[in-house]
Chains A and B, each alone.
Chain A
Amino acid sequence: QSALTQPASVSGSPGQSITISCTGASSDIYDYKASSDSYDYNYVSWYQQHPGKAPKLLIYEVNSRPSGVPDRFSGSKSGNTASLTISGLQAEDEADYYCTSCTRSGSALRFGGGTKLTVL
């Protein structure tokens, strides 16, 4: 069972925007700060994987993009849920998308179950 929960599938038409959520279900992947009623959940990354290919890093530290990743891809976080938004959908965006976060102890990486994006 994944410590991070993602929808199994999402779909959209070319040119549209879609959002994929990633919800932390385990307390060891983020710190709850009672003083601010917030979650320290900053080491969230997102990956894109096309069939038969290795995953590719899209987003790190919640909302940063590696060099070469189009700005159509963006990340955000609210409470214990991180999100990946893809705007201006293109046919080549059809792929599987995974979120990850490290455990609070820094001794493991957790993957979400993955979301299959279909471009209609």
Chain B
Amino acid sequence: QVQLVESGGGVVQPGKSLRLSCVASGFSFNIYAMHWVRQAPGKGLEWVALIWYDGRNEYYVDSVKGRFTISRDNSKNTLYLQMDSLRAEDTAVYYCARLTTAWSLDYWGQGTLVTVSS
């Protein structure tokens, strides 16, 4: 069955970096675009970044442009989110999710919590 498992979250000081990983299994990872979506404590869902199936195109929400980098290693069935210059407002649960051709996210990971605090 399809599984997405995130890891890499934790507590980090403002201005520091963190890299999240999302290991995919149960499907052909290399033919799906993938997303990162986050949810601040008590808040709604916010789209963060998108990468096409071959890694050639990446897109970001304005608030993370220049600080976050989405990437993937199709040989390892793994999606990444490199987060630099972290801010308190980046504190959230980060989910990876698979994109369908109908622009819906049909499978989600369980999420990993990132806390940015001094």
Contacts and interface: CB of A to CB of B under 8 A. Distances in A.
A and B co-occur in one complex: yes
Nearest to B109: A54
A60 B45 contact: no
Interface stretch (B24-32, B71-79, B95-103): B95-103
A10 interface: no
Contacts of A45: 102-105
A113 B47 CA distance: 12
A14 interface: no
Nearest to A110: B47
A54 B95 contact: yes
Contacts of B50: 107-109
A18 interface: no
A100 B104 contact: yes
Instruction: Please classify the interface of chain A as helix (H, G, I), strand (E, B), loop, or mixed, using the class held by over half of its residues.
Output: strand
B46 interface: yes
B81 to A, nearest CB: 15
A95 interface: no
A101 interface: yes
A70 interface: no
Contacts of B47: 100, 108-111
A47 B97 CA distance: 13
Contact of B45 (A57, A66, A114): A114
Contacts of A88: none
B89 to A, nearest CB: 15
A45 B46 CA distance: 14
B35 A60 contact: no
Interface of A: 2, 43, 45, 47, 49, 54-57, 60-61, 64, 66, 96, 98, 100-102, 107-114
Given A61-B102, A109-B47, A111-B37, 8 more contacts: A57-B104, A60-B102, A60-B106, A100-B103, A107-B50, A108-B50, A112-B44, A114-B44
16 contacts: A43-B102, A43-B103, A43-B104, A47-B45, A54-B95, A54-B111, A55-B108, A60-B100, A61-B102, A64-B102, A107-B59, A109-B47, A111-B44, A111-B47, A114-B44, A114-B45
Top 5 closest pairs, chain A to chain B, by CB = A60-B104, A45-B104, A43-B103, A114-B44, A54-B108
